[in-house]
Amino acid sequence: MKNVLTVSQLNDNIKTFLEEAFGILWVEGEVSNLRRPQSGHVYFTLKDDKSQIRAVYFRPYGVRAVKFDLEDGLKILCRARLSAYPPRGEYQLIVESVEPQGVGALQKAFEQLKARLAAEGLFDASLKKPLPFLPRRIGVITSPTGAVIRDILNITRRRFPCVNLLIAPARVQGAEAAGEIIAALRRLHAWGDVDVIIIARGGGSLEDLAPFNDETLAREIRRSTIPVVSAVGHETDYTICDFVADLRAPTPSAAAELVVPRKIELQETLHDLYRRLLASQNRCLALQRERLHSLAARFKDPRRYLADYAIHVDDLRERLKRALAHRTEAVAGRLKPLEARLRGADPRRRIREHSLLLAGLEKNLRGGWNRFLLERSERLKKNAALLSSLSPLAVLQRGYSITRRLPEGEIVRDAKLLTPGNRLDIQVALGRIEARVEKIK
């Protein structure tokens, strides 16, 4: 009797069988034919040099679980279930988580995480906290056994014997390391009383240093309120921790040197400051003392000035006297010639001389005057005779009179201009008559 199955029944049976028979698998291989449809799920083929298998990585698992983006050619280690897809009759791996495998994949994952955190600004210089100048207590996260912690202890003690250390032990290698380092960071923050934290690990392969490339650890370091120094691996090893920390030290020993100043240098600085302080204090005092001395030297009892003044006054008086005498002599000297000259110019002599001159002139004048008078009187007589023949008075002599109207005194030439009663003045040769007009004819 044939047991006939439909295709669907067969595929369903295969699917159930595969899922039950294989359970959870770890499969390693290289990614190829990667496809990323709109859904966000990732489809790819996992292969090695001889064989290949389909794989799908569903988004709900993926978002946080994937620590890096898958790319063709990457070697990965998948945690997956085997299953079948009945509609197409294909079997495939349902991938639950992916770990990078091999140097290339780790390097790729590192570059991707570094670029993403840098873009987020987690490495910004502005976020870097300054280290304390002289830490009182240093938190150290590392393995409590081994060379790293011994180096740190030795170097800090050599540079500065009294710096305290608080070691928060953590594994620094393997799958649990990142989680333990995060826990140690949190312990140090909870405990407080540390001024700076060193996260240290010796050198190792890229796989060995993988915990220090953990994204969660990177974010925890960035959140730290205490400055963090990353000292992982050798000088040439760089980890995400190095970028996100406040300071990267090339090695754990270098971290100890960067964090702890040399005591001897500080003592020298202090000593130098002490010398300078003393020197400037001495200089300042010397300067003030000098000023005081100079002022004291200039400061005098005013009574000493009195004596000086008295002498000065006497001196002045003497000089005044001498000057006065000298001046008098000088004036007298100038006076004498003036007196002589004055005497020489006595006006009485000139008066005598001038009165003689005057008398002569007077005599001349009188002689002249008499001659002048004589000549004039003779000319007068001649003219008077001439004049008397022309004078109206001579006419009056001959019986004419001159009538004037009073009171104006104007000469009357026309009788019609008079009216009876007018007063008249009539001049005759000898005397004058006052008359009144009786009648006009």
- Binding region for another protein (CB under 8 A): 132-134, 139, 144, 149-150, 153-154, 157-158, 161-169, 183-184, 187-188, 190-191, 263, 266-267, 269-270, 273-274, 276-277, 280-281, 283-284, 287-288
* Ordered DSSP codes for 107-121: HHHHHHHHHHHHHHT
Q: How far is the CB of 239 from another protein (least distance, A)?
A: 23
Specify whether the backbone of 71 is left (phi greater than 0), alpha (psi in -120 to 50) or beta: beta
In the complex, minimum distance from the CB of residue 224 to another protein, in angstroms, rounded to a whole number: 15
Helix, strand, coil fractions of the chain, as percent rounded to 5: 50, 20, 30
Q: For residues 199, 219, 211 and 129, what is the CA-based torsion angle, rounded to 10 degrees? A: -20
By beta-carbon proximity to another protein, the closer residue of 206 and 226 is: 226
Cα separation of the two ends of the chain: 219
Taking the least distance from each CB to another protein, the nearer of 271 and 366 is 271
Q: Least distance to another protein from the beta carbon of 194, Å?
A: 9
Shortest reach from residue 193's CB to another protein, in Å: 10
Q: How far is the CB of 146 from another protein (least distance, A)?
A: 10
Question: Exposed/middle/buried for 183, CB within 10 Å: 0-12, 13-18, 19+?
Answer: middle
Task: Output 8 or 154, the one with its CB closest to another protein.
Answer: 154
Dist CA 15 CA 22 (whole Å) = 11
Looking up tokens 């001959």, which residue turns up? 398
Instruction: Output the DSSP codes for 309-350.
Output: HHHHHHHHHHHHHHHHHHHHHHHHHHHHHHHHHHHHT-HHHH
Tell which phi-psi region holds residue 128, choosing left (phi > 0), alpha (psi between -120 and 50) or beta: beta
Q: What are the beta bridge partners of residue 410? A: 405
Question: Which residue in this structure is represented by tokens 């001024």?
Answer: 195
Q: Least CB distance from residue 96 to another protein, whole Å?
A: 31
The answer to whether the beta carbons of residues 100 and 107 sit under 8 Å apart is: no
Nearer to another protein, 109 or 168 (CB): 168
Query: Closest approach of Cβ 157 to another protein, in Å?
Result: 7
